Amino acid sequence: MSTPDETIIEVADLRKWFRIGGGMFSRSGVDVKAVDGVSFSVRRGEILGLVGESGSGKTTVGRTLLRLTEPTDGTIRFRGQDITHLPKRAMRPIRRKLQLVFQDPFASLNPRMTVGRIVAAPLIVHEPRMGQAERAERVAEMLQMVGLLPGHAGRFPHEFSGGQRQRIGIARALMLRPDFLVADEPVSALDVSIQAQIVNLLLDLRARFSLAMLFISHDLAVVGHLCDKVAVMYLGRMVESAPTIELFANPRHPYTEALFSAVPDPDPEVRRSRIILSGDIPSPINPPSGCVFRTRCRYALPACAGDVPPLRNVAPNHQSACIRDDLALQPAM
């Protein structure tokens, strides 16, 4: 039933608009298009990197596809089943297959609970009839798997460092052997020397469980290291998507190029010609017409202000939402 190439998650034209302003009884207010038409799929054992800056909507994509907020439009399929509007009760058995690892390893663990209780929580919720002894055994096994000791089960989260806490969060997420993991900036709150530990752990666990993963990050270097394919978001839209190697070697969207060029390289001999974008990300309340990136794009033409450019195939498995085919863009390195 589970084939190696099986598509685990498929998202089509996902939209999430938040209404702001307007009171409880008024219909006024404006829509913030946090996510505006995003599509992708992730196969078993595959890691998709979702890259973007603050305000790009990448976190909202993760939360919406886990049905933690209700999508405004679009469909979410889990192993072929449409779960977009599944009621709470029907969603419950599916929740155990879809898990989330948080950015902040401090806020995501309940400070009043022992590590054992935190890691056992999925079992308590989904397998309430499991005996104490078996539960403890599963917890011990899981703690070891993420590089902690079984004896840590009796301790409280604040007794651990940031990296260790992130391991606890990963142990909790993997307790029910999920098919799909959303990792929302799981290493950005960690010290540099610890980040590598967690990245390696995620790679290790992916190989072990053939996990499919959505890895949300603003750090292109980490994404390049970890992910099989990458989708770039800007202001709620997906502007480019390709296998990692292809994207890094041959970016086709000017925003991707600018992102690459902005990453400072820890090697003084590497000197990319730097593209400094002018200005800030526009407000999602009032995004620019046409291509959302055109206000900061150095290749923008008058035509860019017209229709919203759709994602189109520019090479096999490589899609870009730029209308210009004549650009020779700078690769990642």
Partner 1 sequence: MTPPPRMDPDALLQVEDLSVRFRSDTGVVSALNGVTLAVRPGETVALVGESGSGKSVTSLAIMRLTPSPPGCEVGGRVWLRGTDGRPVDLLALPGEAMRKVRGDRIAMIFQEPMTSLNPVLTIGEQIAEAIAVHRGTSRASAWNAAGELLELVGIPEPRARLATYPHHLSGGMRQRVMIAIALSCDPALLIADEPTTALDVTVQAQILDLLRRLQKRTGMAVIFITHNLGVVAEIADRVMVMYAGRIVEEAAMRTLFQAPRMPYTVKLMRSVPRLQIGGERVALEAIPGSVPDPTNLPPGCAFAPRCSHAMEGTCDVVGPDLEEVQPGHFVRCVRWRELAGGTAR
Partner 2 sequence: MAVAADITPRESPKRRARNRALARFVRHRLALFGLGAIIVLVLLCAVGPYLWPYNDLRIDISHRFAVPFMSAHILGADALGRDLFARLMIAGRVSLTVGFAAMAISTVIGTLVGTVAGYFGGAVGSMLMRFVDAVLCFPSIFLLLALAAFVQPNLFTITLVIAATAWMEVARVVEAQIRSLRERDFALAARVLGASDAHIMFRELLPNAIAPIVVASTLNVARAILLEAYVSFLGYGIQPPTPSWGNMLNNAQEYLATAPWLALLPGLFIILAVTGFNFVGDGLRDALDPRLDIT
Whole-angstrom distance, CA of residue 146 vs CA of residue 4: 24
Write the interaction track for partner 2 spanning residues 82-101; mark x where CB under 8 A is met and - where it is not.
Answer: ---------xx--xx-xxx-
Q: Which residues contact 274 (CB under 8 A, 6 or more apart)?
A: 261, 262
Q: Does 249 bind partner 1 (CB under 8 A)?
A: yes
Write the interaction track for partner 2 spanning residues 18-37; mark x where CB under 8 A is met and - where it is not.
Answer: ------x-------------
* β partners of residue 50: 216, 231
Q: Does 135 bind partner 2 (CB under 8 A)?
A: no
Residue of the chain from 119, 140, 259, 291 that contacts partner 1 (CB under 8 A): 259
Task: Tell me the window of 29-37, 167-175, 211-219, 249-257 that interacts with partner 2 (CB under 8 A).
Answer: 167-175
* β partners of residue 36: 15
CB 86 within 8 A of CB 78: no
Q: Does 129 bind partner 2 (CB under 8 A)?
A: no
Task: Tell me the window of 37-45, 48-56, 104-112, 260-268 that interacts with partner 2 (CB under 8 A).
Answer: 104-112
- Please report, as residue ranges, which positions from 52 to 81 form the binding site for partner 1 (by CB under 8 A): 53-54
Q: Which of 225, 106, 110, 220 is nearest to 163 (CA)?
A: 106
Terminal CA-CA length for the chain: 42
Task: Tell me the window of 11-19, 64-72, 106-114, 274-282 that interacts with partner 1 (CB under 8 A).
Answer: 274-282
Residue of the chain from 124, 245, 301, 305 that contacts partner 1 (CB under 8 A): 245
Q: Does 186 bind partner 2 (CB under 8 A)?
A: no
CB of 272 to partner 1, least distance (A): 9
Q: Which of 173, 200, 196, 197 is nearest to 184 (CA)?
A: 173
Q: Which two tokens stand for residue 6?
A: 């099986």
Whole-angstrom distance, CA of residue 43 vs CA of residue 41: 7
CB of 278 to partner 1, least distance (A): 8
Q: Does 62 bind partner 2 (CB under 8 A)?
A: no
Torsion angles phi and psi, residue 183, rounded to 5: -110, 105
Whole-angstrom distance, CA of residue 25 vs CA of residue 44: 45
Count of other CB atoms within 10 angstroms of residue 168? 23
Q: Which positions touch partner 1 (CB under 8 A)?
A: 53-54, 161-164, 191-197, 199-200, 203, 218-222, 224-225, 244-245, 248-249, 258-270, 274, 276-277, 279-281, 331-333
